[in-house]
Structure 1
Amino acid sequence: MPPFDRQFFCLVFVFALVTTPALRADDKPADESAKQKPAAAETATPKAKKDATPAEKKPADKAAEKKAADKKAAAKKAADKKEMKKPAEKKKEEPKKMVSAFPDKALEEAVRHEVFEKRYNKQPITAEDVANISRVVGTGKKIKSLEGLQHCRVLMLIDLADNEITDLKPIADLKRLQSVTLAGNKIKDLKPIENLTAMQLLDLSQNEIADLSALKKMSNLRTLYVADNQLKDLSPIAGLTKLWTLDASGNQLKDLSPVSKLGWLTTLKIVGNQIESLAPLSQLDDLDMLIMSKNQVSDLKPLVEMCRKDAEGERRFAPYLDVYLGGNPIDEKDKAAATKELRSFGVDVHDK
């Protein structure tokens, strides 16, 4: 190697030795600085957090929070309202206690016989139980009130004789009634039954009735018993032309004129009144039973003439007529003659 080149090479070598450590030193801190920066950042962060103060909230954040709070409140209010509307749980209802439709226990027992389901027990008879029964029978039971019978809407027959009944209002609307027997009670007023026009048999004997005006509309009546009352006048029933049987015994009757219009009458019983004349009977050409005992009749001629006319004509009733005339102030001689003549027409005459 030439001397110049050798000198140059030595210079380069020396320079390399001098400069290389410095470069390495410069490189090392750079690497370590890069590595230490995160640690420094981590060390600085807690302090920054510790020293930091909450920043003021922006208006937009406040509005959002208010809106959320309002929404929550509205949801709660809706839930509460729904809870209020929710129907309360129904409590188990106790079975309703049955109540009798008949305050009068004696009448209830009479009705019970017609209610098959309760005939042999003591359960109360309700309005529903009697809705379809057609009859009630209970004689001599000391029944005082008919209350409850208004529920027997299809009732057709009542037989409650020999009780203590005074008021007929409960049966006032039972329009299907055809047969009513209330003999032996304490009835005075018949007005409640004035519209029961389907009536065919009515027995009101042995009551306290003085007026029959309420019976005027009962045009279908066939049989009427009003014995042993306080009647003085039969005029109210003069229009009941379909009557077959009339018993007005034991009253205070003096005049039979209203009876003259009852053309269908076959049986007339007027025992124990104050009748003086039989003349009104001359038009009753279907009569087959006349019981006129214990009156004030002294003349039998109207009866004799009536029977003679029939015997000589159509013979509709005379051969079948039974007459009871005992207890009247008839002259014995006249009675004997009249009796003989009546019997000649086929009439059965009884002096009792």
Structure 2
Amino acid sequence: MSAMQQFVAPSRLLVPVLLASFLAVSARPAVSDDKPEAGKTEKVEAAKQAAEAEKPAESKPEAKKPEEKKPEEKKPEEKKPEEKKPEEKKPEEKKPEEKKPAEKKPEAKKAEAKKEEPKKPAPKPVASAFKDKALEEAVRAEVFAKRFNDQPITKEDVANISRVVGVGKQIKDLSGLEHCHALMLIDLADNQISDLTPIANLKRLQSVTLAGNRIKTLDPIKGLTGMQYLDVSRNEIQDLSPLGKMSNLRTLYLAENRVASLDPIAPLSKIWSLDASGNELKTVAPIAGLKWITSLDLRNNYIEDTTPIAQLPALNILQLNNNPIKDLSPLVKACEADKAGENRFAPYLRLFLGGNEIPEKEKVAAIEALQACGVKVKQ
């Protein structure tokens, strides 16, 4: 039964009740004009009360209607407007971009610039440790971090490098090498170097090649007693005194200088290779005690007497070209004695002659005698 039917059914029942009450009132005898009207009114009010008592029951379905409308109330939950994604209105949220006044970065940069301004005195550590740009480039090859750029080489950069090689670079000034405390090898041949003071305290140096420069004195390096290899050929050196304490020298090249005496190197007993060619030597007596010499180059000097040379039992190579030698008999006797004894050097000796003043007959006889001992003679 629907809600309307529920409402109509009670009303139909109410009609007969009202009709019956009306007939009963009309059948009663009239006592007075006022009483019937009062009874009628009482009955009508009773009927109305009965009807009102039923109405709450009838209106109950109407009370349920708001509950049925609850699904409609859920419609706001669909939130279709929310599906429009107000979040997509990000352009409005990008208002921070409009807050350009807040981005006073230029002012911040100005502040940073102001802070950087006091740092301008910092270029001091950037200064190169080398006055000579050619030397700096030679050193740069040993500094890995700056090998391929133009940044100045500082003293901190070179503290641990072990070698410097710069042949034929027109280097004039060695300033800066004093910071290379770990240097063991220097090869700066064929440059324009004259002053060795910057390397005076490099105690680890073992090999130094300064051939073909403008060096006149070796005095700055006299304290480098660990030196084993020294080549100062083709310079302007006269005095070898600074080498007197280099007891570890094995190889000494003095070619084409102005040396007139070998006395200062007489104590250097470990020398095994000596090149003193192209100097002003008249005697080689001071080196008679250097028993370990295997290679001796005395070309282009003023030597006449070969007696001291005959006392060097370890010789393998002897070059005497262009000397005023007149007699080879001391060498011949030494080789014949070696042949008769232990044969320690004669069979291995290579002798270079030529440009001497030995008479031809004596020269031929001496050469034949030497060759008989196993000596290889070249003129």
Q: Same fold (TM over 0.5)?
A: yes
In the alignment, the residues of structure 1 paired with residue 155 and residue 375 of structure 2 have an alpha-carbon distance, to the nearest angstrom, of 54
Q: Corresponding residue for 2:362?
A: 334
In the alignment, the residues of structure 2 paired with residue 169 and residue 314 of structure 1 have an alpha-carbon distance, to the nearest angstrom, of 48
Q: Corresponding residue for 2:119?
A: 94
In the alignment, the residues of structure 2 paired with residue 170 and residue 221 of structure 1 have an alpha-carbon distance, to the nearest angstrom, of 21
Q: Corresponding residue for 1:205?
A: 233
Q: Corresponding residue for 2:25?
A: none
- Please state whether the residue corresponding to 1:349 is helix, strand or coil: strand
Q: Corresponding residue for 1:148?
A: 176
How many residues align? The count is 262
Matched, 1:314 2:342: yes
Matched, 1:226 2:254: yes
Matched, 1:324 2:370: no
- Please state whether the residue corresponding to 1:130 is helix, strand or coil: coil
- Mind listing any 5+ residue stretches in structure 1 that lack a counterpart? 1-89
Which whole-Å deviations, capped at 9, do the CAs of 1:168-220 have from their partners, x for residues lacking one? 00000000000000000000111100000000000000000010000000000
State the AA in 2 paired with 1:225.
Y
Q: Corresponding residue for 2:309?
A: 281
How much has 1:275 moved relative to structure 2?
Answer: 0.1
Matched, 1:246 2:271: no
State the AA in 2 paired with 1:161.
A
Which whole-Å deviations, capped at 9, do the CAs of 1:242-285 have from their partners, x for residues lacking one? 00010000011001100101111111001000000000112210
- Please state whether the residue corresponding to 2:318 is helix, strand or coil: strand
State the AA in 2 paired with 1:105.
K
Which whole-Å deviations, capped at 9, do the CAs of 1:11-49 have from their partners, x for residues lacking one? xxxxxxxxxxxxxxxxxxxxxxxxxxxxxxxxxxxxxxx
Q: Corresponding residue for 1:110?
A: 138
Q: Corresponding residue for 2:324?
A: 296
In the alignment, the residues of structure 1 paired with residue 236 and residue 225 of structure 2 have an alpha-carbon distance, to the nearest angstrom, of 22
Which runs of structure 2 are paired with 1:38-53 in the superposition (5 Å)?
Answer: none
How much has 1:111 moved relative to structure 2?
Answer: 0.4
How much has 1:114 moved relative to structure 2?
Answer: 0.4
- Please state whether the residue corresponding to 2:145 is helix, strand or coil: helix
Provide TM-score, normalisation by structure 1.
0.73
In the alignment, the residues of structure 2 paired with residue 214 and residue 315 of structure 1 have an alpha-carbon distance, to the nearest angstrom, of 37
Q: Corresponding residue for 1:134?
A: 162
Which whole-Å deviations, capped at 9, do the CAs of 1:257-316 have from their partners, x for residues lacking one? 001011111110010000000001122100110001000101000011111111111111
User: Which of 276-285 and 169-178 deviates more?
Assistant: 276-285
In the alignment, the residues of structure 2 paired with residue 119 and residue 199 of structure 1 have an alpha-carbon distance, to the nearest angstrom, of 28
State the AA in 1 paired with 2:306.
L
In the alignment, the residues of structure 1 paired with residue 336 and residue 154 of structure 2 have an alpha-carbon distance, to the nearest angstrom, of 61
- Please state whether the residue corresponding to 2:361 is helix, strand or coil: helix
In the alignment, the residues of structure 1 paired with residue 304 and residue 257 of structure 2 have an alpha-carbon distance, to the nearest angstrom, of 20
Q: Corresponding residue for 1:83?
A: none
Q: Corresponding residue for 2:243?
A: 215
Which whole-Å deviations, capped at 9, do the CAs of 1:324-345 have from their partners, x for residues lacking one? 0111001111111111111111
Identity %: 61
Matched, 1:162 2:214: no
- Please state whether the residue corresponding to 2:274 is helix, strand or coil: strand
How much has 1:94 moved relative to structure 2?
Answer: 2.1
- Please state whether the residue corresponding to 1:158 is helix, strand or coil: strand
Which runs of structure 2 are paired with 1:161-180 in the superposition (5 Å)?
Answer: 161-180=189-208
In the alignment, the residues of structure 2 paired with residue 128 and residue 312 of structure 1 have an alpha-carbon distance, to the nearest angstrom, of 63
State the AA in 1 paired with 2:163.
R
State the AA in 2 paired with 1:164.
Q
- Mind listing any 5+ residue stretches in structure 2 that lack a counterpart? 1-113
In the alignment, the residues of structure 2 paired with residue 255 and residue 208 of structure 1 have an alpha-carbon distance, to the nearest angstrom, of 20
In the alignment, the residues of structure 2 paired with residue 328 and residue 121 of structure 1 have an alpha-carbon distance, to the nearest angstrom, of 56
Indicate the RMSD between aligned Cα atoms, in angstroms. 1.1
- Please state whether the residue corresponding to 1:192 is helix, strand or coil: helix
State the AA in 2 paired with 1:337.
A
Provide TM-score, normalisation by structure 2.
0.68
State the AA in 2 paired with 1:212.
L
State the AA in 2 paired with 1:146.
L
- Please state whether the residue corresponding to 2:288 is helix, strand or coil: helix
How much has 1:91 moved relative to structure 2?
Answer: 5.1
Runs of 4+ in 1 over 3 A off after TM superposition: 90-93
In the alignment, the residues of structure 1 paired with residue 173 and residue 339 of structure 2 have an alpha-carbon distance, to the nearest angstrom, of 51
- Please state whether the residue corresponding to 2:211 is helix, strand or coil: coil
Matched, 1:271 2:296: no
In the alignment, the residues of structure 1 paired with residue 330 and residue 127 of structure 2 have an alpha-carbon distance, to the nearest angstrom, of 62
